[in-house]
Amino acid sequence: MRQTIVRDVSDLPTYGYGPRSGPWWGAMGFMALEGMGFAVVIGAYLYLYAVNSTWPIGASPPDLWPGTAETVIYVLSIIPNEFTNRAAHRQDLAKVRIGLIVMALIGIALLVLRGFEFAHLNTRWDNSAYGSVVWLILGLHTTHLATDLGDTVVLAVLMFTRHAKPRRFSDVTDNVFYWNFVVLAWLPLYVLLNWVPRL
């Protein structure tokens, strides 16, 4: 006679935080791919910088104020982002709602500043190799910023509906995790775009 071993797993959680969450691993893979994309464009920028006797080519360096203002906001955004993360782990719905709204407003402010930054690059994308690579780098990071903003807005809306269930708090922590990547990715790009042309 064959024995069948069956175990009741209905009491196991259907979601988790960090590495115990499937979407967290998806975000990790996504960040690894995007990180490689950033590495490739940084390599292209540094190659062009190395092989050209004048840099930037046919343009003055970008104006500092838009990128610097963005950098300050990015660094300060870690505070409400961590507030949101801790509230999500405690499943404190009221504080998660506040945190998501604040982070969405920060994302909107950064997109507005990014528009000013494009306007103050002092080169067009089709002016030279310098213009092309600068617009590519800034456009790539803008895509990540807009993606995270969209995710944050969707989560904020869900948290004000009947979909604000325990599993959604895990999604919020994954969103927080991705935002940290967006911030960390920006810091070397800020130096590359704004200070390397001034060397």
Give one DSSP letter per residue of 144-191, joined into a string: HHHHHHHHHHHHHHHTTSTT--HHHHHHHHHHHHHHHHHHHHHHHHHH
CATH number for the domain spanning 105: value is 1.20.120.80
Residue 10 clears pLDDT 70, i.e. is over it: no
Does pTM surpass 0.75? yes
Domain range for 70: 20-198
- Rounded to 5 degrees, φ, ψ at 194 are -105, -30
SS3 string, 91-146, reads: CCHHHHHHHHHHHHHHHHHHHHHHHHHHHCCCCCCCCCHHHHHHHHHHHHHHHHHH
**Quick check: helix, strand or coil at residue 105?**
helix
Is 1 within the bounds of a domain? no
d(CA 44, CA 26): 27
Give the CA angle between residues 90, 91, 95 to the nearest 5°: 90
Let me know if residue 3 belongs to a domain.
no
Between residues 144 and 11, the one the model is more confident about: 144
Q: How many domains does the chain have?
A: 1
If phi > 0 it is left, if psi is from -120 to 50 it is alpha, else beta; for residue 15 that is beta
Q: What is the CA radius of gyration of the chain?
A: 21
**Spacing of C-alpha 153 from chain mean position:** 14
User: Can you give the pLDDT at residue 17?
Assistant: 78
Q: Is 4 among the domain residues?
A: no
pLDDT digits (tens, 9 = 90+) for 16-34: 777 777 777 888 888 899 9
Percent of the chain clearing pLDDT 90 (strictly above)? 76
Identify whether 2 is part of a domain. Answer: no
Half-sphere exposure at residue 25, Cβ-oriented, CA atoms within 13 angstroms: 6
The pLDDT score that the predictor gives to residue 61 is 94
Helix 64-76 vs helix 93-119: angle between axes, to the nearest 10 degrees?
A: 170
Do the domain assignments include residue 6?
no
Cα gap 114→137, rounded to integer Å: 12
pLDDT, one tens digit per residue, over 49-102 is 999 989 999 899 999 999 999 999 999 999 999 999 999 999 999 999 999 999
**Residue whose tokens read 């203002």:** 69
The residue among 51 and 164 whose pLDDT is bigger is 51
